[in-house]
C-alpha cells in the first residue's frame, strides 16, 4: 500500500473516468503550449524553450504528473528537441509528453531540474551526447564521456573517426573550502572505479568529515558502450534484440528484451500469441529471480565482506536458474530469446522433464529462502548494519524518479506489471511487495519477498503451459520480414525490469532502422538517489546503501 494519502482525484486536472482529457491539460498550460503532437503512447505538448518550468510545474502540481520517467534529446535537420516523458506514480497509464524544440544555432532551453530532481542527470546526459544546453542547470558538465571529449556523438554532424584525448587527473577536494571554516578538515576519497564494493566500474567521489560522509558524487561513464548508437544502427527485426541482454546483464536479459519487444511491437502494431505471452512471463520471472539472487549475494559480500557462505549460497541457486534458462534459450547469460511477435522457440523437449526441473526448483525454494532468512536477515550484525541506515523517503524517491524495489521499499506502490499490465501478468494471482521503512534492510527484504512472488507467477505459468493444447502452441505471430514503422511515429514504452521501470523511446523515420533509440534505465535514476541516502552517514553505510540500490553499470551507462 502506498504511504501517501490518496489524492483527491476530482481535484486533479485532466483526469476522467476512462483516462486523460488532454484538452483540459492544454487549457491548464495555456499560452506556454505552442502546438500539440500525438505520440503512440500519449499526447505531447510542444512548449517554448523559455517556459519549460512553468509548464512542468503546472503539470506536476495541478495535474498530478509526479513522475518524470525519462528525458529524451535528439537532433533534427532544423532543430534540437528535448522530450520530457511524464507519468503518475499512482497510475502510470496516464502519460503526457512535453516537447521542447530549440534552434540548432543556439540550442538552449530551460532546465527542468527545479521541478524534477531527476532531470539533473538526464539533462547532463542530453548535453553530453546530443549537445543541448540547459539554462540554470545547477551543474551542466559531461556525465558519460570524459571531460576532454570533442563533439557530441549522438548529434548529426559528429565525426567518429577523429582522435580523442582522455586525461587521468587526480581529483581535487570539491568542497574543501566549505569545511575549513568551521575548523574541521575534510578528506577526499575516491571509491572506484576499480573497487569490489562498487559493483563494477563506478567511481564515487566522496568527501569525508571525520568518519562521516559529507558529500558524495557518483561519477559514471566507465562502461558507456554506446548502446543507443548500436540500436540505431540495427534493423528492428533481428539486429537490435541481442543488445538489451547487455544492459542489465545480471541474467535479467529477458526482462530487458521485453522492454524492446513491447516498444517495437506497439510501434509496428504486432500481436503476440497468448501462448508466447505465457512463456515470456515465465522466463522473465526466472530472470528476476536470478537478478535478485545476485543482488542478495553481492549485498552480503559488501556488508559482511564475505566471499564464502552467503555469496556461494546465492550462486548455488543462480546456477539452478541459469540451467533452466539455458534449457529454454540455449544460452547461459545472453539469452536473445524474444522475437518481435513472440519468442524464438518453444519449450524444450521432452516437456515433462523441463516442467519437472522447474517444479523441483520451486519446491525447494521456500526452504532455501528460510535459509537465507536465517543467514542474512535475522542475523544481528546484518540488522545493526542495515536497519535505519541509508533511509530514503517516498517523496525524495519520487523526485528522483526511483522505481523498482528501491521505490517500493520506500512505500511507493508502483509496479508496471500491475499498473500498466502487459504479458500475462494481469491474468495471474500475485502481489506487489512494498515496505515503508525505506532503509537498506527494507530494500533487501523487498527483493527477497519478490523472489517468492516470482515463484508464484512461474508456478501458475507452468500449470498453464502444461495443459496448453498441442495444436494451439503458437510461439510467434506473423511478422513482416522487414519492419518499417510509419515515418515520424514516436513511442515511449516501459516494462518492470529487475531494477525498476525500464523504458525505451523510439522515433521512426520510415526506414528499417530507428532514427532515435533512447533507453530509460532504472539504475540511472536510482543511482541518483545515493547522495540523499548516504550524506551524513558513515562510510560503511554508504557502501551498504550503494549495494542496496543494486545497480548494474551496464545499465547506468548504457
Partner 1 sequence: MSSDSQLTNADAQTTQEARMGGGTDNRFNSKLREAFGSSPFVLTKFDSFMNWVRSSSMFMLQFGIACCSIEMMHTYAVKHDLDRFGAGVPRASPRQADVIIVPGTIVSKFGPRMKRVYDQMPEPKFVVSMGSCTISGGPFQQGYNVVKGAEEIIPVDIHVPGCPPRPEALVYGVAKLQERIGEGETAPVTVKPYELEEFGDLERDELVTKLADDIDEDTLVMRYNWNDSP
Interface residues toward partner 1, by CB under 8 A? 144-146, 148-150, 153, 158, 160-169, 193-196, 199-201, 221-227, 229-230, 233, 242-243, 245-246, 249-251, 294, 307, 311-312, 315-316, 318-319, 322, 332-334, 553-554
CA angle 499, 505, 511 (to 5 degrees): 140
Whichever of 45 and 243 has its CB closer to partner 1, that residue is 243
- Please state the closest distance from residue 504 (CB atom) to partner 1, in A: 18
Whichever of 22 and 158 has its CB closer to partner 1, that residue is 158
Whichever of 1 and 166 has its CB closer to partner 1, that residue is 166
- Can you tell me the distance from the alpha carbon of 454 to that of 431, in angstroms, rounded to the nearest whole number? 9
Query: How many C-beta atoms surround the C-beta of residue 373 within 10 A?
Result: 13
Kindly calculate the radius of gyration of the chain based on its CA atoms and give it in whole angstroms. Answer: 23
Whichever of 38 and 190 has its CB closer to partner 1, that residue is 190
Phi, psi of 217 (to 5 degrees): -135, 105
- Please state the closest distance from residue 295 (CB atom) to partner 1, in A: 12
Helix (H) or strand (E) holding 135: strand 133-135
Residues facing residue 187 across a β-bridge: 208
- Please state the closest distance from residue 249 (CB atom) to partner 1, in A: 4
Whichever of 113 and 245 has its CB closer to partner 1, that residue is 245
- Please state the closest distance from residue 228 (CB atom) to partner 1, in A: 10
- Can you tell me the distance from the alpha carbon of 390 to that of 541, in angstroms, rounded to the nearest whole number? 7
The set of cell numbers assigned to 461 is 505459468
- What DSSP character marks residue 498? S
The set of cell numbers assigned to 350 is 521432452
- Please state the closest distance from residue 279 (CB atom) to partner 1, in A: 24
Helix (H) or strand (E) holding 17: none
Asked if 541 and 302 touch (Cβ cutoff 8 Å), the reply is no
- Please state the closest distance from residue 550 (CB atom) to partner 1, in A: 14
C-alpha closest to that of 258 among 374, 383, 404, 422 = 422
- Please state the closest distance from residue 326 (CB atom) to partner 1, in A: 9
- What DSSP character marks residue 510? S
Whichever of 196 and 366 has its CB closer to partner 1, that residue is 196
Whichever of 76 and 307 has its CB closer to partner 1, that residue is 307
The set of cell numbers assigned to 360 is 523441483
- Please state the closest distance from residue 274 (CB atom) to partner 1, in A: 32
Residues facing residue 33 across a β-bridge: 47
- Can you tell me the distance from the alpha carbon of 323 to that of 49, in angstroms, rounded to the nearest whole number? 52
C-alpha closest to that of 218 among 534, 531, 462 = 531
Q: Provide the strand spans (E) within 344-497.
A: 490-496
Dihedral angle over CA of 284, 286, 289, 290, nearest 10: -100
Whichever of 17 and 147 has its CB closer to partner 1, that residue is 147
- Please state the closest distance from residue 506 (CB atom) to partner 1, in A: 19
Whichever of 365 and 442 has its CB closer to partner 1, that residue is 365
Whichever of 332 and 373 has its CB closer to partner 1, that residue is 332
Whichever of 38 and 164 has its CB closer to partner 1, that residue is 164
- Please state the closest distance from residue 147 (CB atom) to partner 1, in A: 8
- Can you tell me the distance from the alpha carbon of 92 to that of 209, in angstroms, rounded to the nearest whole number? 41
DSSP reduced 3-state for 410: coil
CA angle 254, 258, 412 (to 5 degrees): 100
- Can you tell me the distance from the alpha carbon of 476 to that of 54, in angstroms, rounded to the nearest whole number? 46
- Please state the closest distance from residue 308 (CB atom) to partner 1, in A: 10
Amino acid at each position: 500500500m502506498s504511504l501517501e494519502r490518496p489524492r483527491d482525484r476530482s481535484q486533479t486536472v485532466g483526469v476522467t473516468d476512462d483516462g486523460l482529457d488532454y484538452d483540459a491539460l492544454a487549457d491548464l498550460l495555456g499560452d506556454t503550449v505552442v502546438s500539440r503532437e500525438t505520440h503512440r503512447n500519449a499526447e505531447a505538448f510542444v512548449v517554448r524553450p523559455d517556459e519549460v518550468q512553468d509548464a512542468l510545474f503546472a503539470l506536476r502540481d495541478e495535474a498530478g504528473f509526479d513522475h518524470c520517467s525519462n528525458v529524451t534529446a535528439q537532433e533534427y535537420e532544423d532543430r534540437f528537441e528535448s522530450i520530457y516523458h511524464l507519468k503518475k506514480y499512482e497510475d502510470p497509464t496516464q502519460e503526457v509528453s512535453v516537447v521542447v524544440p530549440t534552434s540548432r544555432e543556439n540550442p538552449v532551453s530551460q532546465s527542468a531540474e527545479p521541478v524534477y530532481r531527476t532531470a539533473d542527470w538526464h539533462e547532463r546526459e542530453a548535453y553530453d551526447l546530443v549537445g543541448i544546453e540547459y539554462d540554470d542547470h545547477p551543474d551542466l558538465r559531461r556525465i558519460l564521456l570524459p571531460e576532454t571529449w570533442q563533439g557530441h556523438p549522438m548529434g548529426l554532424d559528429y565525426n567518429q573517426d577523429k582522435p580523442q584525448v582522455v586525461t587521468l587527473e587526480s581529483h581535487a577536494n570539491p568542497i574543501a573550502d566549505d569545511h575549513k571554516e568551521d575548523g574541521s578538515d575534510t578528506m577526499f576519497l575516491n571509491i572506484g572505479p576499480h573497487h569490489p564494493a562498487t559493483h563494477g566500474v563506478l567511481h564515487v567521489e566522496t568527501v569525508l568529515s571525520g568518519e562521516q560522509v559529507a558529500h558524495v558524487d557518483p561519477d559514471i561513464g566507465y562502461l558507456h558502450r554506446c548502446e543507443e548508437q548500436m540500436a540505431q544502427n540495427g534493423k528492428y527485426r533481428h539486429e537490435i534484440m541481442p543488445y538489451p541482454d547487455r544492459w542489465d546483464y545480471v541474467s535479467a536479459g529477458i526482462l530487458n528484451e521485453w522492454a524492446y519487444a513491447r516498444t517495437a511491437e506497439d510501434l509496428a502494431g504486432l500481436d503476440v500469441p497468448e501462448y508466447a505471452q505465457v512463456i515470456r512471463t515465465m522466463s522473465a520471472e526466472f530472470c528476476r529471480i536470478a537478478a535478485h539472487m545476485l543482488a542478495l549475494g553481492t549485498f552480503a559480500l559488501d556488508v559482511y565482506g564475505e566471499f564464502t557462505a552467503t555469496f556461494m549460497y546465492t550462486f548455488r541457486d543462480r546456477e539452478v536458474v541459469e540451467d533452466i534458462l539455458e534449457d529454454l534459450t540455449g544460452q547461459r547469460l545472453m539469452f536473445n530469446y524474444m522475437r518481435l511477435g513472440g519468442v524464438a522457440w518453444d519449450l524444450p523437449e521432452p516437456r515433462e522433464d523441463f516442467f519437472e526441473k522447474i517444479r523441483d526448483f520451486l519446491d525447494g525454494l521456500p526452504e532455501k529462502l528460510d535459509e537465507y532468512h536465517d543467514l542474512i536477515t535475522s542475523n544481528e550484525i546484518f540488522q545493526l548494519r542495515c536497519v535505519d541506515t541509508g533511509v530514503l523517503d517516498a517523496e525524495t524517491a519520487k523526485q528522483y524518479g526511483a522505481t523498482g524495489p528501491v521505490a517500493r521499499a520506500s512505500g511507493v506502490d508502483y509496479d508496471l506489471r500491475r499498473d500498466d499490465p502487459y504479458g500475462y501478468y494481469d491474468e495471474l494471482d500475485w502481489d506487489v511487495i512494498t515496505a515503508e521503512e525505506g532503509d537498506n534492510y527494507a530494500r533487501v527484504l523487498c527483493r527477497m519477498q519478490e523472489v517468492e512472488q516470482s515463484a508464484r507467477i512461474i508456478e501458475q505459468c507452468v500449470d498453464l503451459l502444461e495443459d496448453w493444447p498441442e495444436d494451439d502452441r503458437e510461439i510467434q505471430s506473423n511478422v513482416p520480414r522487414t519492419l518499417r514503422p510509419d515515418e515520424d511515429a514516436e513511442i515511449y514504452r516501459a516494462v518492470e525490469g529487475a531494477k525498476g521501470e525500464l523504458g525505451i523511446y523510439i522515433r521512426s523515420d520510415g526506414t528499417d532502422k530507428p532514427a532515435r533509440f533512447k533507453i530509460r534505465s532504472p539504475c540511472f535514476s536510482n543511482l541518483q538517489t545515493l547522495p540523499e541516502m548516504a550524506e551524513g552517514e558513515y562510510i560503511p553505510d554508504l557502501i551498504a546503501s550503494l549495494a542496496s540500490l543494486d545497480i548494474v553499470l551496464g545499465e547506468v551507462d548504457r
